[in-house]
Amino acid sequence: MASIGLNIGLQALLTSQSALDIVGHNVANANTPGYSRQNLGISANGALNLRGLSIGSGVHADIVNRTVDNLLQTRLVSQSSALARLDSQLDVMGSIEALLGEPGGLGLSAGLDSFFSSISEFSSSPSELVLRTGMVQSAGSLASQFNQLATGLSTLQSDTANQVKYNIGQANLIAQDLVDLNGQISEIEAAGMPANDLRDQRQQALQQLAQHVDIGYTEGSNGIVRVTVGGRMLVGETRAYELKSKVDQTGGVTLNIEGSTIPLNVARGAVSGLESLSQGYIPGLQQNLDHFARNFILEMNRVHSTGVPASGGFTQLTAEHAVLDQDLDGELRDELLSRAGLPFDVTTGSLYVNITNDNTGATNTQRVDIDSSSTTVGQFIDRLNEIPGMNASLNGSGKLQLNSNAGVKFDFGTRLDSTPDEYGSFGGGAASLGSQGAGPFALSNGDTFDFTGPLGAFSVSVSTADFAEISQATAAELASVLNADANFQANGMRAVDVGGRLVVQTTNSGATASFDLTGGSGIAALGWTAGTTVTGQTTSVAPTISGSYSGANSDQYSFVPLGDGTIGTTPGLEVGVYDQNGLLVTTLSVGEGYAPGTELEVADGISVSFDFGSLSATHGDVFAVDLLADSDTTDVLVAFGLNGLFTGTDAATMAVRADLENDPNLLAASGSGASGDNQVLLDMLRMQTEGLEGLDGSSFNEFYNDFVGDVGFKVSSTSNAREVEGYLMENLELRREQVSGVNVDEELVKMIEFEQNFQAASRYIQVVNDIHNDLLQII
Amino acid sequence: MNLRPTQSSKFALVNSGLSLNFAKLALSQERIATGKRILRPSDDVIGTAKSLATRKQMSRIGNYRDAIESSRPYLESASSSLQDVSGILSEARALITQGMSGTLNDSDRRIISGQIEQLVDQLVDVANSQFGERYLFGGTLSNDPPFSFETVNGTRRVVYHGDDEVQRVQIGAGTEVGINVPGSDIFGLFEYAGAQLSGSTGATLGTSANQGTGYADLIFRHDATVGTPGAGIALANGGDDDTILQDHLLTVDATAGTVTLGNGTAVPIPQPGDADYADFVVETADGAEVHLDFTGWTGVDTGATLSGAGSVSLDGVNFTPLAFTETDLELVDSESGTVVHLDTTNVNRAGTELLGFQGGVNIFDALLGAASDLKNSSSLGSADFLARMTDRLGELERNQENALSALGTLGARTERLNDSAERLGAMDVSLQGVLSQIEDADLATVALELSRAEQTLQLAQMTGSRLLQNSLLNFLR
């Protein structure tokens, strides 16, 4: 009996001691992260049948329990994944935000402001060299701001990629730890012992791993946890599979796991956050910035390329961008102009080239038509070479090179040709006969034109081969047929295309210049009658154009007299003005009452004046003037990089044209070449607020504001999400603390409880012992 | 609900409370220190967009104001130059009027002519005025002097080298204003009203239109006198000194002792021994002269038709013989571009016609012409002289009006710049207000936030320190 009593007491003592040990362990680990409170499972021993009574045989300690909520742990793991993703993103985005430096005086916005300020300042004193240099310099600093932003973004992208690598490395280390922990736990638990503290460590490791990559995990019956990433095994029963990252050329990162080449999709965790930045967001920003820079370069160069530098027209220009051999046949000239590898698009339209004589200052404007679907590089170059005084070729590196002959300069300005009647076909001194209307003319094969010149009669015949379509013969085609004729040349005659009309004239002028149109089968198509004699005159009407064209689209006005008569003399003499579609623009009264030399307003800001002389509608007098709203509607100058302000095609490559930076006089501020003309500058200033097609109708400012706003919005929404997720995490951690955390007071209460228990058990043993002694004394 | 608070959760709670309040405090402090509410785009995305747009607008307004400020002195300096022009022209008009007075002798007129020439020099100086390095009246060709003296057909003229363009500056979105008036609009704005001949040769303009600017001298030259006076009277010096053109009847009335040429008045026949006996001048009412030598006069009456052959020249070099039947004779001076058509049927004497293109004379031509007329007044008849001077004075008045209207244009442009500057200034102030509202921290609010954050932090610290001290251990002995 006594031994039973002592045994009960001993077990009570031992149990209390174990409980006190666990209290001590709990208190000791009160601040250990991930530690789960442990407690001792105690149960009463079975009853013994003594003295006909069923008497309990004391207490024993069963097991050390770990208080843990597994569901909560799982949620904590996944929540830390979500949080880590946002944390990693916020970090990088903060850097992007700092890189932009907005709002304030340091960002690109301020750079744009100062660029446009310098233009505005220069435009009010366009002959000041200091302001000219200032504008070039501020263009340079704007370009370098673009460069810095581009470099900053790509550095951030590569940094982000490196961070992904670092995170992957950490994840692999933790995976290795997990394998070790799995082994120890299964070993201990196979022996029937709970591996409480190791499990806590493993849980902690899982949570850390989840911060790097988004994981899923399941625990097997043997206590081993398997971890998967994106559906692929990361930690198996016996080994970990290595995560690998690859950084591609564009700075994007791809992940895969050992034994598989399929890219891994990770939705959460720091790696996914960084990956989405380096693969999606930062490239998106770079793309937007490049798009912005590209359009900025395009628009500024569009305006600048048609300007004239302070140093006057050009004698030599070399393109920035080379033509590329797209069809790889070793021949560059056969490339379609719009698909010749040039960085900017070439569209259908016209380029106007002005050739100015150095001595006389006379300007000859020539139109070069480009059809984006058919014009080849070779055709374009050939057409440029047709312009008198102009030489175009591709240099060894495939870049277009333009040179002018000695004594002439070329430019692409929108200036008016003030003396447009270059052939004297409008009451000029030469004997001149114009067609009665603009082409095309319905000729047929073998049609003849019979003339009598100073050397006698001759006939010129045309054949189908001379025309693209003989029934639709153009004035230019017919002119080249006539000009190629030996008799025609020998008689001192020439044929020219004036505003689509064919004009045949003598090369010399004065009252002695004369020829006859005697007949021919082709003359009716041109509205001519046989037996027409034309004679030159001593006075020349020499029309003069003034003003500046304000129309929205480029046009060509043809001026033709509506009757025969003398300027300022013949009653009712009128000149009709037709646009390039043949529609009447206006009629001008130049007969009796008109004082020769008086300016008459035509339309759209231009005026014309006529000198004394006679006009003949019968002889088809005509002159045409090109009115340029935009001297390059094709963007071919921008595409080749001719006379641009900026070079480069995106934010990283943008720069001020090198020769222009060295010599600010090459800055083409003027539309006419006059020192005080600031047309180009004013056009640039207008671009500041204009909605641009390339930017989907936004202006530069609006687009850039969107760009900045987008970053700001992303940062603020990420930071809001971070706040919410952080709160959730805190909440979950609190819940975990509630379940598994150690309350020292609670432990102290338990300690007192078991201390008292221990004392009671000691007392009980003493009592049992006393009883024994009492009994022994009796003996 | 925290049902089972633990040590860690107690610490975490205090910790997170403290850091939250610290963050609030730091934010308030940053806002107070910078005075800005938005420091990075994420602080307020919409506010950032607004702030960027407002800043952009302010920068543009700044540009416009700068452009206005740098253009204003240019305009003002042009205005003051034009006031000088107006003064010079008034003085010139006074001198010309004075010179027209019949009481002056030739040398007086030469002095006045010299004074006018000086005024022209002054005027060219003013027309070439510069502001900084820029010439004010050259249109957009502002790097070189726009006016210079040149000799055209032997006449001193002032030639314009500028262009007719107006230089513009941007003073608002889509608003550009001119900041100059080209010299061609001030010193030579032409309103052609046709050509006019002043002189007494009897020539008139033909039927066709005429072309030119300024003045030109149309010289009718007497080449020879055809016909014999009769009664032994000879043509003195072979008729070379005569000025008659076309046919004129010479009547010698021995009874009355008079000689008459055409419609001229009868004059007494000279007596032998008179100084002009061998070279006696008879003239028509129009001043066409015949020089007669009476030495061989037989003393009888005679009546004969004398005919003057002649030619005409526009440039003083090339002469066109006259048949006196031309109704539309075309004369061309290719150097000056002048074309004139003449009716010569009524030409009856040699002489110089002043061909003037009304409304086509610039200030300099009018003044230089007047100066030259004053200098040569003795060789011009007084009627011719007055007609020429009146014509020049008229052109001068027209030009003075042009200069005044240019002055008005400049004034209006200055006014416009001033108005814009004022409006832009007001806009700038209001935009600054807008920007401040968007970007700037409201100091009172932020200060309040700061002190609240400070208070909360102190409270959190106090409660933390109190709470963390509480433990059962304190009571275990």
B337 contacts A737? CB cut-off 8 A: no
Residues A456 and A580 in one domain: yes
In A, which residues are within 8 Å of B359 by CB distance?
595
Query: Of B32, A492, A384, which is closest to residue A392 (Cα–Cα)?
Result: A384
Tell me what pLDDT residue B162 has. Answer: 86
pLDDT band at A128 (very low <50, low <70, confident <90, very high): confident
Q: Given pLDDT bands bounded at 50, 70 and 90, which one contains residue A290? A: very high
Burial string for A362-376 (b: 16+ CB within 10 Å, else e) reads: ebbbbebebebeebb
Q: What percent of chain A stands above pLDDT 70?
A: 99
Confidence of residue A288 (pLDDT cuts 50, 70, 90): very high
Phi-psi label, residue A360: left if phi above 0, alpha if psi -120 to 50, beta otherwise? alpha
Residue A166 has pLDDT above 80, yes or no: yes
Q: Which pLDDT score is estimated for A737?
A: 86
pLDDT, residue A258, reads 85
CA distances from A182 to A66, A208, A243 (A): 17, 16, 19
pLDDT, mean of residues A291-300: 94
Is residue A726 located within the same domain as residue A588? no
Using alpha carbons only, give the angle B151, B155, B159 rounded to the nearest 5 degrees.
50
Based on the fold, state whether residues A348 and A466 are members of the same structural domain: no
B208 chain-A contacts, CB cut-off 8 A: 566, 568-569, 612
Burial class (CB in 10 A: 0-12, 13-18, 19+), B16: middle
Rounded to an integer, what distance in angstroms lies between the CA atom of residue A636 and that of residue A629?
Answer: 16
What's the pLDDT score for residue B60?
87
| Cα–Cα–Cα angle for B193, B199, B201, rounded to 5 degrees | 120
Mean pLDDT over each residue of chain A, to the nearest integer: 88
Contact A127 B41 (CB under 8 A): no
Q: Are A313 and A358 in contact (CB under 8 A)?
A: no
Residue A360 maps to a domain: yes
The pLDDT of residue A2 is above 60: no
Whether B296 and B285 have beta carbons less than 8 Å apart is answered as: no
Q: Are residues A342 and A377 in the same domain?
A: yes
Residue A175: pLDDT over 90: yes
pLDDT at A361 over 80: no
pLDDT reading at A139 higher than 90:
yes
Residue A4 has pLDDT above 80, yes or no: no
Quick check: A595 pLDDT over 50?
yes
A146 neighbors A108 (Cβ within 8 angstroms): yes
pLDDT tens profile B361-380: 888 888 988 898 888 877 77
Written as one letter, the residue type at A751 is M
pLDDT tens readout for residues B390-430? 888 888 888 888 888 888 888 888 888 888 889 889 888 98
Beta bridge pairs of residue B422:
none
- The pLDDT tens digits for A384-407 are 998 888 999 999 888 999 999 999
Q: Is the pLDDT reported for residue B1 higher than 50?
A: no
In a domain, A505, yes or no: yes
The pLDDT assigned to A210 comes to: 92
Residue A251 confidence class, pLDDT cut points 50, 70, 90: low
Compute the nearest-CA separation of A306 from chain B (Å).
18
Q: Which residues of A touch B48 (CB under 8 A)?
A: 102-103, 708-709, 712
* Separation CA A751–CA A748 (nearest Å): 5
Kindly report, residue by residue over B64-102, the tens digit of the pLDDT: 888 888 888 888 899 999 889 889 999 999 999 998 887
Within a domain: A651: no
Chain B residues inside the 8 Å CB shell of A76 = none
Q: Do A443 and A406 reside in the same domain of the chain?
A: no
Average of per-residue pLDDT across A147-168: 89
Among A7-16, A396-405, A690-699, B462-471, the range scoring the smallest mean pLDDT is B462-471
The reply to whether residue A97 touches residue B213, judged by beta carbons under 8 angstroms, is no
Residue A420, domain member (yes or no): no
The confidence score (pLDDT) of residue A173 equals: 94
Q: Does B164 touch chain A (CB under 8 A)?
A: yes
Nearest chain B residue to A31, by CA: B8
A·B CB contacts under 8 A: 236
Q: Which fold has domain B53-191+393-426?
A: f41 fragment of flagellin, N-terminal domain (1.20.1330)
Nearest to B41 among A712, A734, A742 (CB): A712
Q: Indicate whether A614 and A531 sit together in one domain.
A: yes
Which tokens in the block code for residue A189?
A: 């638990």
Whether residue A454 is predicted with pLDDT greater than 90 in this model: the reply is: no
- Percentage above 70 pLDDT, chain B: 99
Residue B264 pLDDT level (bands cut at 50, 70, 90) = confident
- Mean pLDDT lowest for which of A357-366, A625-634, B123-132? A357-366
Average pLDDT over residues B265-283: 87
A564 and A473 in a common domain: yes
Nearest to B9 among A595, A713, A737 (CB): A737
Interface list for B 266-305 with A (CB within 8 A): none
In terms of residue numbers, what domain contains A34? 2-67+741-778
Query: Which of A514-518, A539-543, B330-334, B473-477 has the weakest average pLDDT?
Result: B473-477
Distances (CA, A) of A123 to A88, A109, A779: 48, 21, 130
ipTM above 0.85, yes or no: no
Same domain, A408 and A455: no
Question: Is the Cβ of B194 closer than 8 Å to some Cβ of chain A?
Answer: yes
The proportion of chain B whose per-residue pLDDT surpasses 90, expressed as a percent, equals 10
Compute, in degrees rounded to 10, the torsion defined by CA atoms B101, B107, B113, B117: -160
pLDDT grade for A639, boundaries at 50, 70 and 90: very high
Look at residue B443 in the predicted model and tell me its pLDDT: 84
Binned at pLDDT 50, 70 and 90, residue A83 comes out as very high
CA B328 to chain A, closest CA, distance in angstroms equals 11
Asked whether residue A535 carries a pLDDT value surpassing 80, the answer given is yes
Give the pLDDT confidence score for residue B29 in this predicted structure.
Answer: 87
Identify the closest residue of chain A to B328 by CA–CA distance: A569
Binned at pLDDT 50, 70 and 90, residue B477 comes out as: low
Q: Which of A672, A705, A744 sits opposite B53 (nearest CB)?
A: A705
Average pLDDT over residues B216-237: 87
State the total domains in chain A.
4
- Residue A133 pLDDT grade (very low, low, confident, very high; cuts 50, 70, 90): very high
pLDDT surpasses 60 at B345: yes
Quick check: B335 contacting A, CB < 8 Å? no
What is the arithmetic mean of pLDDT over B198-221?
Answer: 87
CA dihedral A28, A30, A35, A40 (to 10 degrees): 70
Q: Can you give the pLDDT at residue A264?
A: 82
Beta strands in A18-149 (DSSP E): 38-44, 47-50, 53-56, 59-66
Q: How many CB atoms lie within 10 A of CB B459?
A: 12
Q: Comparing C-alpha atoms, which of B250, B224, B211 is closest to residue B333? A: B211
CA distance A312 to chain B (A): 12
Region B128-155 average pLDDT: 85
Point out the residue among A112, A121, A547 whose CB comes nearest to the CB of B70.
A121
Q: What's the average model confidence in pLDDT over B35-45?
A: 83
> Is the dihedral angle over the CA atoms B279, B284, B287, B290 positive or is it negative?
negative
Residue range A276-298: mean pLDDT, rounded: 91
Is the C-alpha dihedral spanning B36, B41, B47, B51 positive or negative? positive
CA B286/CA B261 separation, integer angstroms? 11
Of A31, A123, A672, the CB nearest to B169: A123
Q: What is the pLDDT of residue B36?
A: 84
A445 and A523, same domain (yes or no): yes
Among left, alpha and beta (phi > 0; psi -120 to 50; other), residue B153 is left
Q: Where are the domains of chain B?
A: 53-191+393-426, 195-352
Mean pLDDT of chain B: 86
Whether chain A has a CB inside 8 Å of the CB on B45: the answer is: yes
Looking at the fold, whether A757 and A774 belong to one and the same domain comes out as: yes
Strand order in the sheet with A514-519: A456-461, A448-453, A514-519, A532-535
Same domain, yes or no, for A323 and A303?
Answer: no
- Residues of A whose CB is below 8 A from B467: none
| Mean pLDDT for the stretch of residues A116-133 | 89
Separation in Å, CA B2 to CA A734, A738, B5, B13, B410: 8, 7, 6, 11, 83
Judge if A482 and A566 occupy the same domain.
yes
pLDDT for A644: 92
Q: Residue A176: which of A213, A202, A194 has the closest Cα? A: A202
Mean pLDDT of A105-116: 87
Q: With a cut of 70, say whether residue A478 has pLDDT above it.
A: yes
Q: Are A463 and A444 a contacting pair, CB within 8 Å? A: no
Is the model's pLDDT at B2 over the cut of 60? no
